[in-house]
Amino acid sequence: MSRNPLVREVSPTSWFFRHPRYLRYMSREITSIFVGAYCVLLVVAVQRLAAGREAWEGFLLALQGPASIAFHLLALVAAVYHAATWFNATQKAMPLQIGEEFLPGNVISGAHYVAWAVLSGGVLFLAGVI
Amino acid sequence: MAKSHKPVVWFPFAAGGTVIAFFIPVIVLLTLLAALGHVPPGLGYDSLRAFAGSSLGKPIIFGVVALSLWSSAHRLRCTCYDFGLRADTLVATVLYVAALAGSLLVAVYLLGMPAA
């Protein structure tokens, strides 16, 4: 309890219910759990690949199943949400000044979305999906 | 002059956030296809092993995984704090050590895959 009347006590575990803006912030925070778990899966994947053909093909088989599909769908939503919010923030994080004028923010974010589409398309092409 | 270790944490965090934003969604999509039983040709053993064995593929795989791990560790640290887990030094140590260990393991696995 604070003796200072100007400092209000804020609950450390439920503060984010106080305003929808905080909830949006926390919904983005939660995506880090799924992205982090997926990164661990990537480390396992590299280990299985290094262990040889049988290990890798067993890993691909182990990926199948409803629980894995559900995890992948959650990870995909989390990754896309993280990406979109990250690109939306770029215009605030690195504003670009040309002469006296600032480049409009949506041009900076838009350029990131275009690069994202091109890179994703490139990876899908190299992987033989499209 | 004031010295801070923050740039050491922040640079790989920002780089990792960018790498995750650009590449993780499409990588998740590839393994989702594998989970659905439609393994993309690029995830077949021969093509992926050749990529991991090449001197171009090794730094790409290491860079994507290591930077994503570090960025995720930093974000999870902030998430723990925001959900009320205030033992920040402990949380930060566990998560950063885990990210470093994962990166080291990936480096070892990659070095164990010479060009076929």
- Give the H/E segment covering residue A119: helix A105-126
pLDDT in tens, A22-49: 999 999 999 999 999 999 999 999 999 9
Q: Which residue is it, tokens 């894995």?
A: A68
What interhelical angle do B45-53 and A20-50 show, nearest 10?
Answer: 90
Question: Residues A27, B6, A98, CA angle at the centre, nearest 5°?
Answer: 80
Could you give the domains of chain B?
Answer: 10-111 (1.20.1300.10)
Among B105, B71, B80, CA closest to A36: B71
Helix or strand or coil: residue A104?
Answer: coil
Interface check for B82 against chain A (CB to CB < 8 A): the answer is yes
pLDDT of amino acid A2: 58
Share of chain B above pLDDT 70, in %: 97
H helices present in A16-101, as ranges: 20-50, 53-62, 66-93
Q: Which residue is it, tokens 């270790």?
A: B5
pLDDT in tens, A97-126: 999 999 999 999 999 999 999 999 999 999
Arithmetic mean of pLDDT, A91-96: 90
- Are B69 and A43 an interchain contact pair (Cβ–Cβ within 8 Å)? yes
DSSP letters spanning chain B: ----SHHHHHHHHHHHHHHHHHHHHHHHHHHHHHHTT---GGGSHHHHHHHHHSTTHHHHHHHHHHHHHHHHHHHHHHHHHHTT---HHHHHHHHHHHHHHHHHHHHHHHHT----
pLDDT in tens, A48-78: 999 999 999 999 999 999 999 999 999 999 9
**Residue A29: which of B52, B79, B110 has the nearest Cβ?**
B79
- Mean predicted lDDT score pLDDT of chain B: 94
**Residue A63: which of B31, B41, B61 has the nearest Cβ?**
B31
pLDDT in tens, B85-109: 989 999 999 999 999 999 999 999 9
Question: Nearest C-alpha of chain A: how many angstroms from B97?
Answer: 14
pLDDT in tens, B7-28: 888 889 999 999 999 999 999 9
**Is the model's pLDDT at A20 over the cut of 80?**
yes
pLDDT in tens, A74-92: 999 999 999 999 999 999 9
ipTM of the complex: 0.93
Among A108, A104, A119, A109, CA closest to B20: A119
Q: Is A106 exposed, middle or buried (0-12, 13-18, 19+ CB in 10 A)?
A: exposed
Q: According to the 3-state scheme, what is the secondary structure of A6-35?
A: CCCCCCCCCHHHHCHHHHHHHHHHHHHHHH
- B-chain residue closest to A64, CA distance: B35
CB-CB neighbors (< 8 A) of B107 in chain A: none
